[in-house]
Amino acid sequence: MVTMYDKMILGEITTTEYNDYMAKKRGFSGVNEYNNYLRHEKGVCTPHNKNKDCAQYLGIYIAERILSNIFEDVIRMAINNKGYDFICKKGYKIDVKSVCFSNKEIKDNWHFTIAGNKFTDYFLLLAFDNRKDLNPLHIWLIKGDEIINRGKLSDKQTFKVQNNIHLLSKLKKYEQTNKLDKLKECCNTLRIL
């Protein structure tokens, strides 16, 4: 009988496929879940939903989780899906970006990492005050091919939004004030839990 290990040695399956098979045999969904389990058990790292300093805490645990409750009929993609996080009921791909002020003392701007993302139709940008309080201050929904600051948003590596009345007024047409109220409610609920 040819085992999965034999198939890997013979080159019929990849090492990743073999590792995935072994992780599933141990009761995990795959090798990624198994590796996370090992890292968390050994204390190498903390799960993102318990580590407020982790970028994934704000991006995945807070923003993506809450937004699936704020927008109707969205399909949430798997964590680390390439290019977008949601598909809305109209079929548009939406990439969620969430950041806090880049300087805690001055509170003058937010830096969103766009990374030249051509896979998404829209960017949903969430601006928070800080990681401790997590007060949402703005939500902007901007089409990827929208020309902002002399270039398409999707072509930019980063998108800097300065916190001043003049520059914020330029983004007013993208502001989602009704969603911001719902986001604030959800964040307040999270603080209670």
pTM over 0.75: no
> What pLDDT does 121 receive?
97
Considering all CA atoms of the chain, what is the largest pairwise distance in Å, rounded to the nearest integer? 72
At CA 98, angle to CA 127 and CA 67, rounded to 5? 100
- Give the full edge-to-edge strand order of the sheet including 136-143: 75-76, 86-87, 93-100, 122-128, 136-143
Q: How far apart are CA 17 and CA 42, in angstroms?
A: 24
Which residue numbers in the chain have pLDDT < 70?
39-40, 42-57, 59-61, 103-105, 190-193
89/55 Cα distance (integer angstroms): 28
The pLDDT assigned to 36 comes to: 74
- Position 114 scores a pLDDT of 96
Task: Locate the domains of the chain by residue range.
Answer: 4-41, 49-192
Q: What would be the CATH architecture of the domain defined by 49-192?
A: 3-Layer(aba) Sandwich (3.40)
